[in-house]
Structure 1
């Protein structure tokens, strides 16, 4: 949830010049490659991971976008993330890859909705004072 929230904030800062503004040169123009698209992935993908909706898919997309950012924009500046300023990109990439591999955990919205739907669709019957499903 925290990784999704931080990624969402980063995308919002880049797209809408809020929360301290964009971390790069400036706010990208709509449709501009790759800055605007990366910010859209950050905002939408981070929000989906935060909410637990389509978590694995969103996390895989977010991980890929951070791998792209690291290898295209940071890695040419130096071999290690501390040398090239790519610490955040590397951390987000690996964190989202882990989320994509392990799944959303116990509290995603999709699981909560499925439990609620299952509880409503299964008929309950009372037997000898106990409730069986």
Structure 2
């Protein structure tokens, strides 16, 4: 079961990222039955929150720049909770802040764990590791050629 844990975390990250992005898309365009709020461009916090949800959610879902995107989106949910929900009491059950709390903590988890194996970050990491291997192999060949030339 433990060997599948990174895959499950990747799947959870994708689901959370897509759902989070849908909140941003709903704010801008009212997609998928969401409540369109049509925030005024650059208006704080509605427009910026929707941008963070849309862009951050897509980045988290794709696993691209996951750690910074997850930290920023987690922080935006912490802000949302304290700015819009905590005024009605600190209990998320009483102030309808459960979703903000869940997103905050799950996104913070991805800030610490990273994207997992099913992600753009993992592909980039594998490509970089391949480049290092090619550099090492090339340097080994150059060293072998130098040794062969010095033996002649």
The alignment's TM-score, normalised by the length of structure 2, stands at 0.74
**Superposed CA RMSD:** 1.8
User: Which structure has greater strand proportion?
Assistant: 1
Q: For the residues of structure 2 that align with 1:97 and 1:110, how far apart are their CA atoms?
A: 17
Q: For the residues of structure 1 that align with 2:128 and 2:88, how far apart are their CA atoms?
A: 51
Q: 1:89 aligns with which of 81, 100, 117?
A: 100
User: Which structure has greater helix proportion?
Assistant: 2
Q: 1:5 aligns with which of 14, 18, 21?
A: 18
Larger of the two Rg values belongs to structure? 2
Aligned residues: 122
Shift of 1:107: 1.8
Instruction: Establish whether residue 50 from structure 1 lines up as the match of residue 61 from structure 2.
Output: yes
Q: What is aligned with 1:22?
A: 35
Equivalent pair of 2:66/2:121 in contact (CA under 8 Å): no
Q: For the residues of structure 2 that align with 1:34 and 1:77, how far apart are their CA atoms?
A: 19
**Which 4+ stretches in 1 moved above 4 angstroms?**
none
Q: For the residues of structure 2 that align with 1:91 and 1:17, how far apart are their CA atoms?
A: 22
Equivalent pair of 1:15/1:22 in contact (CA under 8 Å): no
**1:60-75 alignment, distance < 5 Å:** 60-75=71-86
